[in-house]
Each structure stands twice: as C-alpha cells, then as structure tokens.
Structure 1
Amino acid sequence: MAVQCWSDILKTSKKTALISDGKRKVHYLFTDGSEMAEEYDINTDVLVSRRFRSKNKLGGQGQWHVEVGEISLNAMTSVDSEAIRENSSNPVFTRKDTKSSFQWRIRNIPYPVDTYNIAVEPTERCCIIRTTNKKYYKKFSIPDLNRCQLPLESSALSYTHANSTLIISYKKPKEILVLEQELLRELKKLKATSEGDVDCRTQ
C-alpha cells in the first residue's frame, strides 16, 4: 500500500525530461510544490543522481538536498580554498547505486576490512557503521525504503574495502525493483528534448 502511495505520487507529479551529456534528466514537480531531479545514464538506465528541494518558510525555493550522487563544491557556501585543502583527507560519504543494490562509498578511510562493524538497526530504520578503533562512526537511513515503508533486513547488507574506500551494498527488495522498472518505463515515454523547463543544475 505504501509502495503504491509513493508510486501514485510519482505518477501524478508533473514531469519534464531532457537528454544531455549522455544522461536522461528528469524533473518532478509534486502537488505540494516540492521538487525532485534525477539523472539516469542513457546507456545503462542506472540512476546517477537524485536531489530534492522544498519550499522554504517564505514560500521561495529551498536548497537542493542530494540523496544520490556527488555533492558538488559549487553547492557549498562560505567555504574557502584553505578549508577545502585542510579537509581533503577526511572520509567522504556518497551514495552511488547499481541496478540491483543501494550502494554507499566512503573514501579516505584506510583501515583494514575487519575494523568495520556495519549493522542494520530496524527499530531506528537506519544502518550504523562503527570501527573497532573508534575512528569513524556513521548512521544513515535508506530513504527509498522509508518512502515505501519497507522493513530493513540484515541479510540484504554487505560490504567490501579496497583502495582506502569502504563500499556498502544493500540489496534492493523486489518491491523496489518493480517500482523502479515501472517508473523507468514511464520516463522513457516522456518526450525528452534537448532544451526545456528542466532544472537540473547543481545549486
């Protein structure tokens, strides 16, 4: 029922599409005035980025919130070049999905693979990363499961480590796979243009 609810929200939204730079860029305008912008690789149909924004308290456009993909430095404000250089070795957490899994990458985290303890917390609806050396701690949710009110399963979680990068994968449940396939079919029916009212710029 919840999956159907999110599916209905997507279907009833106003959608515009643009094909550019090898990507299918789709802008969604929801009935409450909030927006979602997605980019798909035109060859593989894999989701490359997803961002949301809502109206602010004054009714104007709020800032984009990145859910999938890299956060551009252009989106950062009040950060000078010194601060960027100073923090360049800090762990960087990003989400980059595959067709079959939600996936997160943490770069600049060099500890051996047996240092990490990654667990699902069903009651808190999140995943938690801990290290035995207490050097890193991260709690993150899976918004796709929350929107569809699907449970988190420990058996779906796996991780690997290589080249100072921790890669965490969560196998997509069948409900999500079906929803994504249905949505992609709908998106491919949209009349995509090389120009149009599609706000896919990084804010």
Structure 2
Amino acid sequence: MAVQHWADALRKAKKTALISDVRKWRHKTTFGGQGQWTWEVGETTPNGITSDLIKENSSNPLFMRKDTKTSFQWRIRNISYPIEVYSVSAEPMERCCVIRTSNKKYYKKFSIPDLDRCQLPLESAALSFTHANNTLIISYKKPKEILTLEQELLGELKKLKGTSEGDIDCKTQ
C-alpha cells in the first residue's frame, strides 16, 4: 500500500522539528549532496519578498498553501474579482487542480504533493472554493487515508524535541 510505504519512509528519514507554520523538504542532488529547500506549505519569506533590492508588486496575486486539520487549503490574496468569475476544477489525468477566471486575468495549475506521494486519486467532489476579502480560498477535503497517516506522523513528531523559532541553534558561515 502506497500510504504505508510513505509513512515508513518518513519514519526512517532524518527529521528536524521546528514549531512553525511552514513545511519544506530537502532532497538529495543527483550527486548525493544536499539540494535546495522546496517550500510546500506556508510563505517562503514575509510578504514573498526575496531581496531588499527587488520586490514584488504588493498588488500582485499571492498564491500560498495553508492547510487545516480536515482540508488541504490554498489562498490567493490580492484577487478581487466577483466569485462568479472563478472556476476551480480537478484534472485527474494531469494530477492537478486548475484555477481560471472567465475574464482571462488569472490562471494557475497546482498539484497536491500529499496525494501524489501516497498515490491517491484526485477527486473532483473533494474540491471547493470561496472568495472573501480579496482572497480566493480553495479547499480539498483530505481523504481518510491522509487523516490516518497524519495522526500516525503526529505521534512520531511528538517524540522529537521541538524548538520555538527563537531557540534555533544556527551555524554561522
């Protein structure tokens, strides 16, 4: 079973616990070295800013993932069209979700890595969306297999010694 295989891989992996509102992964490079971090949940930097010299326009739509206990959830801030303009669909053959606007001002494809890792199908019925305060909120109800896996992993993570953000021992270069 793919879900159990993924759970076993996570149990054996080297883990670091940081009490925060993000999830990121680091994979080995082709030659076995440490690869770049890939952000999966949460914001990469405050307001999406990556440099003091180059900054995003603050009115650009900002896409981010923020999960709840029962749903995978994505938010697109700074998108002010009426809800009738939006169309959100699941594309099971492509294993992704697609956001479109009828005025052709916004288009986004995104996958759900959690479902891919566990080799679970993408179900259109689990997808819903709403719009409030210039933010489009897309929700995908977590399958029972994911909920069970998360409970198991929560037990594993409770065994780790977590730190608060201010208590991190960082090596300086």
Measured against the shorter chain, the TM-score band is: 0.7 to 0.9
Partner SS, residue 36 of structure 2: coil
Q: Are residues 158 and 74 of structure 1, via their aligned partners in 2, closer, same or farther at CA, if it must alter by over 3 Å?
A: closer
Give the alignment of 1:1-203 within 5 angstroms. Answer: 1-17=1-17, 25=18, 39=19, 48-57=21-30, 59-72=32-45, 79-81=51-53, 83-84=54-55, 87-192=57-162
8 Å Cα contact 2:49/2:55 also seen in 1: no
Would the alpha carbon gap of residues 119 and 75 (structure 1) be closer, same or farther in structure 2, given more than 3 Å must change? closer
Task: Check whether the contact 2:127–2:139 (CA below 8 A) recurs between aligned residues.
Answer: yes
Identity of aligned residues (%): 68
The answer on whether the counterparts of 1:96 and 1:102 sit within 8 Å (CA) in structure 2 is: yes
User: Is 1:129–1:137's contact at 8 Å kept on the other side of the alignment?
Assistant: yes
State the 1:57 CA deviation: 4.6
In 1: Cα distance, 2:106 partner to 2:47 partner: 26
**TM-score relative to the length of structure 1:** 0.75
Q: Distance in 1 between matches of 2:170 and 2:2?
A: 28
User: Structure 1 residues 74, 139: CA separation in 2 closer, same or farther (over 3 Å shift)?
Assistant: closer
Q: Matched residues in 1 for 2:130 and 2:48: separation? A: 30
The alpha carbon displacement at 1:84 in A equals 1.4
Distance in 2, matches of 1:104 and 1:75, equals 15
TM-score where L is the length of structure 2: 0.87
Structure with more strand by fraction: 1
Structure 2: any 5+ residue segments left out of the alignment? none
- Structure 1: give runs of 5+ residues left out of the alignment: 18-24, 26-38, 41-47
Q: How many residues align?
A: 169
Cα RMSD after superposing both structures? 2.5
